[in-house]
Amino acid sequence: MELDKMDENDWKYHGEGNKSLVVSHLQHSRVLRLLKYPSEDAEQSHQTTEQAHRHIQNIVDFSNNIMKPLLGEKYIHSGEIVKLPLDFVRLLSLKIQQERPELRCDKVMDTFSGCALCLPNLTQFNSCHFGDQRPPICVEIKPKCGFLPFSRHFTKDCKRKVCRFCMHQHLKLASGKWKRLSRYCPLDLFSGNKQRMYIAIKHLLEEPQNNFKIFKGGELIFSCTDDMEKEPDLSALAQQLRPYFPHASGLYNGYQPGKAVLNEFIQVICSALLSGWDCSRAGEPRKVHLPEGRAHCEASPLHRDLVRNGNHCLPKDCVLARILQTQMLDSLDIEGIYPLYKRIEQHLEEYPKERSRLQIDGPYNEGFLEKLKNCPSEDDGSVEYAVGKVHQYRAAMTAKDCSIMITLARCGENEVLEPNLEINPSKPRFSYSVSILDLDPKPYEAIPYQFKLDSKIVNYYLRSTHAKQ
């Protein structure tokens, strides 16, 4: 990529979240991730080039130095900062504007700084294609928090029984963010139990919201629709996936063939989520057992027997286990973190220079990771304890907000694969790669907001469910 010869016609709109907008290259397997600002005060609120550069450098450092050691090297591509010509960025912004979904247009793309993050395009298969003509399929899952909090700092008992995602659904419905409740429950996905995982993914297909997307050959083919009243078209999806599951289509011909295709598709996703066991080591993969009583959410629509009697553990190195373990660094819950935040604020009022020693706003380097890892297990009243816990909380928050990308390609029928690239040898043969993206640091300043939001979610949940009983 020659930065001085950038042409907006080589790039197209790819997707966006709340904080950044992504464009992909038409030929090369690369994306650019640009910052976004609220549109009403874009002129005032945009950062200077220097600030934007610092901001993106923090994202790269946090991903490389903090999240990589916690989540595992092989899942993470941190990317590199690029400085783009401003003319290119302005033309690009105009070009993509009409393709942006309406619900994201409260913010505008940064056209002032010229800074962006360049990353591999994870919706495409970067290595060779195994001789197959069918373009790769990529599934993106934003799994959210996979356990019930276990802190003793709660004020509301329901937090021990119902997970954050399921509670938050009620507030999102009331605020008009979504038109239907999602039946997805993260605790089912993270359960490691194949049946529960299957149902969790089925619920994501039925109501993807912003937790589930599918790309084919790098193009988005399935996600929440702009018209939120409309339900997702699963038979159209099955039609798109049919070439990848010829066996399923043939077998069930005439008898709901779409169901058989989706069924096999979900099973392939489950296998990829549970894979990651290093084949070079002998014996069975080591397992991570889920904490008793924290792996079941009472709001999940699953039958109780399935939840109680199934086996619940994750292979140690699978992507779900790595994400869950990082999420569980949040051991105090926001209700336990908020008082520690206030302890730090008080300390900084007295000793403002300590802010940099304590690395409150970074830099996100080994020193930050040390503070996070070496935090005393008991509160000794020190500011060091408070900082260690807050750093842990922030890494956990990032892990609660990341996305998993699973890229699948059909293998040619006669090809021999390395054993760890192959899943489900008896089923259709896929090679796959699993990555984690969106590992931005969550700001320290957001803790008071998180505290308020948490009580709003819990109180609304209690009111809305009690009213129905």
From the list Mg ion, ligand ATP, none, pick the one residue 203 interacts with, judged by a Cβ distance below 5 to 8 Å according to partner type: none
What is the pattern of x (binds ligand ATP, CB under 6 A) and - over residues 23-42?
A: --------x-x---------
From the list 327, 438, 447, 457, which residue makes contact with Mg ion (rule: CB under 5 A)?
Answer: 438
| Binding region for ligand ATP (CB under 6 A) out of 10-18, 145-153, 303-311, 350-358 | 10-18
Q: Is 422 in the site for ligand ATP (CB under 6 A)?
A: no
Residue number, 59 or 295, with CB nearest to ligand ATP: 59
| Binding region for ligand ATP (CB under 6 A) out of 12-20, 173-181, 319-327, 453-461 | 12-20
From the list ligand ATP, Mg ion, none, pick the one residue 208 interacts with, judged by a Cβ distance below 5 to 8 Å according to partner type: none
CA distance 347 to 392: 19
CA distance 195 to 47: 48
Q: Is 68 in the site for ligand ATP (CB under 6 A)?
A: no
| Binding region for Mg ion (CB under 5 A) out of 17-25, 74-82, 254-262, 392-400 | 17-25
Q: What is the DSSP letter of 378?
A: S
For the chain, the helix, strand and coil percentages under 3-state DSSP, each to the nearest 5: 45, 15, 40
Residue number, 19 or 242, with CB nearest to Mg ion: 19
| Binding region for ligand ATP (CB under 6 A) out of 11-19, 41-49, 347-355, 410-418 | 11-19
Q: Is 110 in the site for ligand ATP (CB under 6 A)?
A: no
Q: Which has the closest alpha carbon to 442: 404, 391, 406?
A: 391
CA distance 219 to 224: 14
Q: Measured at the alpha carbon of residue 365, what is the angle toward residues 361 and 367, in degrees to the nearest 5?
A: 90
Q: Is 441 in the site for ligand ATP (CB under 6 A)?
A: no
Q: Which amino acid is at 55?
A: H
CA 85 to each of CA 6, 23, 114, 196, 265: distance values in angstroms, whole numbers, following the listed order: 8, 15, 6, 49, 42
Q: Under a CB-based contact definition with an 8 Å cutoff, are residues 203 and 221 in contact?
A: no
Residue nearest to ligand ATP (CB): 17
From the list 10, 17, 171, 198, which residue makes contact with Mg ion (rule: CB under 5 A)?
Answer: 17
Tell me, letter by letter, the H, E, C secondary structure of 245-296.
CHHHHHHCCCCCHHHHHHHHHHHHHHHHHHCCCCCCCCCCCCEEECCCCCCC
Q: How far is the CB of 384 from ligand ATP (least distance, A)?
A: 30
Q: Is 20 in the site for ligand ATP (CB under 6 A)?
A: yes
Q: Which amino acid is at 379?
A: D
Residue number, 139 or 337, with CB nearest to ligand ATP: 139
Cis peptide before 69 (omega within 30 of 0): no
Q: Is 121 in the site for ligand ATP (CB under 6 A)?
A: yes
Q: How far is the CB of 128 from ligand ATP (least distance, A)?
A: 19
Q: How far is the CB of 315 from ligand ATP (least distance, A)?
A: 25
| Binding region for ligand ATP (CB under 6 A) out of 13-21, 165-173, 178-186, 371-379 | 13-21
| Binding region for Mg ion (CB under 5 A) out of 16-24, 294-302, 359-367, 375-383 | 16-24
Q: How far is the CB of 78 from Mg ion (least distance, A)?
A: 14
Query: Is the dihedral angle over the CA atoms 152, 153, 154, 155 positive or is it negative?
Result: positive
What is the pattern of x (binds ligand ATP, CB under 6 A) and - over residues 130-169?
A: ----------x-----------------------------
Q: Dihedral, CA atoms, 301, 307, 310, 312, nearest 10 degrees? A: 100
Q: Which amino acid is at 155?
A: T
Q: Is 16 in the site for ligand ATP (CB under 6 A)?
A: yes
| Binding region for ligand ATP (CB under 6 A) out of 114-122, 263-271, 351-359, 447-455 | 114-122
Q: Which has the closest alpha carbon to 142: 186, 179, 177?
A: 186
Measured N-to-C along each axis, helices 194-206 and 234-241 cross at an angle, to the nearest 10 degrees, of 110
> What is the footprint of ligand ATP within residues 276-295 (CB under 6 A)?
none
Q: Which has the closest alpha carbon to 8: 81, 93, 82?
A: 93
From the list 63, 123, 191, 392, which residue makes contact with ligand ATP (rule: CB under 6 A)?
Answer: 123
- Chain centroid offset of residue 370 CA: 25
Residue number, 136 or 285, with CB nearest to ligand ATP: 136
CA atoms within 13 A on the CB side of 264: 24
Binding residues (CB under 5 A) for Mg ion: these are: 17, 19, 438, 440
Binding residues (CB under 6 A) for ligand ATP: these are: 14-20, 22, 31, 33, 119-123, 140, 213, 401, 403, 437-438, 440
